[in-house]
Amino acid sequence: MSDDQSLIKARYCRSILKVAAISTDQEARGLLEGLATEQPTPNTSPAMAEAERAALSAIRDLAGYQHGRSVPQSSSEWMRAARAVQLWLNVNDK
Per DSSP, 47 falls in state: H
Question: Which residue range forms the structural domain that includes residue 38?
Answer: 3-93
Residue 69: its pLDDT value, please? 65
Backbone angles phi, psi at 47, to 5 degrees: -65, -40
The radius of gyration of the chain's CA atoms, rounded to the nearest angstrom, is 13
Q: Give whole-number Cα distances, 60 to 1, 28, 73, in Å.
A: 25, 13, 15
- pTM check: above 0.85: yes
CA torsion sign for 49, 51, 55, 61 is positive
Domains identified in the chain, total number: 1
Instruction: Read off the pLDDT of residues 21-71 as tens digits, 9 standing for 90 and up.
Output: 888 888 988 999 999 999 999 999 999 999 999 999 999 998 888 766 666
Residue 39 burial (C-beta neighbours within 10 Å; 0-12, 13-18, 19+): exposed
